[in-house]
Amino acid sequence: MEWKQLVGIYGHDRNKQMGQTVILFEKDQRLFLQPRGAPEKTQEIHAAGGSVLITEPDGRTQAYMERRTEDGTVQSFWQSETWDQNRMENSASARFPYIREDAGADPSHYYHIPLVVPVSELRQKVLAAQPPVEPGPFRKADLVELAPLDSAIHLDIRYAQSDNFLGTPLYTQARAFLQRPAAEALLRVLHKLQPLGYGLLIHDGYRPWYVTKIFWDATPSEDHNFVADPQKGSRHNRGCAVDLTLYDLATGKPVEMPGLYDEMSPRSFPDFPGGTSLQRWHRDLLRRAMESGGFTVNEDEWWHFDYKDWKHYPILNVPFEKLHGVAGAT
């Protein structure tokens, strides 16, 4: 693959430890560095032939260099093995060239992380915990089950299965709910997509607070930007967030996106420039359709959308098995 087509995540083979502590990505012919788990410290690599220093989570300071052609195409990019305040060692033996890495976007696969604590050890402790107290006032919860609203709404509730990032079921039932205004808005989005040949595949909607607490406690701290802080609660806990993708109405199969659902990598960013043009088109179509219905995409997750009224609803901690007789939206 030519350098001008390198618009993904970069890594290398000679320094695996470094590849695990820093993320490198490109957008609009601009290269960026981001310490893993610290998006607020993202730095752009600036002028052609210039260098940038970045202090990584382990305390080491590394120097990076890049060269471009006149049209802005990346010609070469490397990390110096050592950094000296007076000079940068950039002989051939000290360079670590970066190449594009892409784990693929097959929707039949799933992403998994090493757990800080096994879910089996967390569950009882978390079920006894209480959500944060909020002052309100809030609207009365009115959760609506999504599947009965339209036959073109399909479910793939990963947290009721083992094919999720924690590798174990979190829900006892494979169901999805949203607050009524959000559910009705989602139905309008579906009706815009159906003439284009697409249906909606729901991965998650309302999420009891105790599950958010399990996510946080089980996930390594460097990946906490991909899970909600239970002390603040998730918009899923309020019944105003939905995780979803598109599927082909003709085949019933999920479409390919630039990254996998729940993948904790830059491929999950809604503006990630890698992947194929078709994958990016699918992702952007979903985003445009959802935004037209009053939803906003999460800045770290292309599949996660928040409904505009989320602030008006409280954090809920009701398990699915206690949601009886939920009526469909009108």
Q: Which residues are catalytic?
A: 301
Residue 118: how many other CB atoms lie within 10 Å: 12
Sequence-distant (6+) residues with CB within 8 A of 284 are none
DSSP letters for 283-330: HHHHHHHHHHTTEEEETTEEEEEEETTGGGS------GGG--SPPPP-
* Consecutive H or E run containing 247: strand 241-248
Q: Which of 20, 7, 1 is nearest to 264 (CA)?
A: 20
Question: Cβ distance 80 to 64 under 8 Å?
Answer: yes
Q: Enumerate residues 6+ apart whose C-beta is below 8 A from 73.
A: 3, 4, 29
Q: CA-to-CA distance for 5 and 148, rounded, in angstroms? A: 44
Q: Where are the alpha helices (DSSP H) in 133-275?
A: 180-193, 209-218
Closest C-alpha to 211, from 70, 318, 136, 51: 318
**Are the C-beta atoms of 200 and 310 separated by less than 8 Å?**
no
Which pair of tokens denotes residue 192? 């815009």
